[in-house]
Amino acid sequence: MNIKFLFVVALSLCAQFALAQIKQVIPEVTSLDITDRLSVTVIPSDSSQVEIKGELADKVEIIIAGNSLRLKMKAGFLMKGNQAQVMVYSPSLNRLTARKGSELYVEQEELQGDSLFFTSLEGAKIRAKVASNAVEAIAGTGASIDLLGSSQSLSATSTAGASIFAKDLQVKSAFARLNAGGKIEVNASESADVETRMGGSIEVYGKPAQTKQRKIAGGKINFH
């Protein structure tokens, strides 16, 4: 009987540990950088805090340096971020970077700001709903960025098989550069300046009045 009791208690403690949640208030930051396959949801809010849950919640490292917040896994748990879920509440983020298979989402509320910057590298994914005057998106090495909402302008640069999907981001002017494969989608109402280099495809929606296109060493450019 005692052995059974101890076994039940042990299981209960394990379950509580697996469902553990960590909350930490942080100073206001403007930049967020995530890595190690972490899944992070950003929620624009008046408060500034980080919430972490999941089996490896206590193995996520929170690093603050100046106006920057970096989230990574602790030594011995690198690339195991998929076993933790993170929520970042912030009123002031305007620069978001995802690396090494991590995933970053901004979908519950629009991310607003005069200028917003997104960088996705090394197989990472970003999906964000935005309202801005200017958006810059950079994707590389098989990563992807998916943008929706509205902005006056979009600058999109994709390299090494990465993709930027901005068909659902309504802009007046779009600037797109694609290098070494991959894909870029833009939706512009007034102007589009697009270029491919060494393969890949650019899809232009919105029937912009002014267009400029260039293909260097291959690639496809289609207007819809």
pLDDT at 175 over 60: yes
**pLDDT range class, residue 156, cuts 50, 70, 90:** very high
Specify the pLDDT at position 19.
Answer: 56
- Over residues 81-90, the mean pLDDT reads 98
- Over residues 133-139, the mean pLDDT reads 99
CB atoms within 10 A of CB 126: 26
- Over residues 185-202, the mean pLDDT reads 98
- Over residues 127-146, the mean pLDDT reads 98
How far apart are the C-alpha atoms of 83 and 102, rounded to whole Å? 12
Say yes or no: 116 and 89 in one domain.
Answer: no
Say yes or no: 138 and 65 in one domain.
Answer: no
Specify the pLDDT at position 60.
Answer: 98
Range(s) of the domain holding residue 113:
106-224
Q: Hey, CA dihedral for 124, 127, 35, 202, is it positive or negative?
A: positive
- Over residues 216-224, the mean pLDDT reads 96
Q: What is the average pLDDT value for the chain, to the nearest integer?
A: 93
Boundary-marking domain end, from 46, 61, 93: 93
Q: Is residue 17 part of a domain?
A: no
Specify the pLDDT at position 210.
Answer: 98
Say yes or no: 186 and 213 in one domain.
Answer: yes
pLDDT at 82 over 70: yes
Say yes or no: 79 and 174 in one domain.
Answer: no
Say yes or no: 88 and 121 in one domain.
Answer: no
pLDDT at 13 over 70: no
Domains held by the chain: number: 2
**pLDDT range class, residue 140, cuts 50, 70, 90:** very high
pLDDT at 5 over 80: no
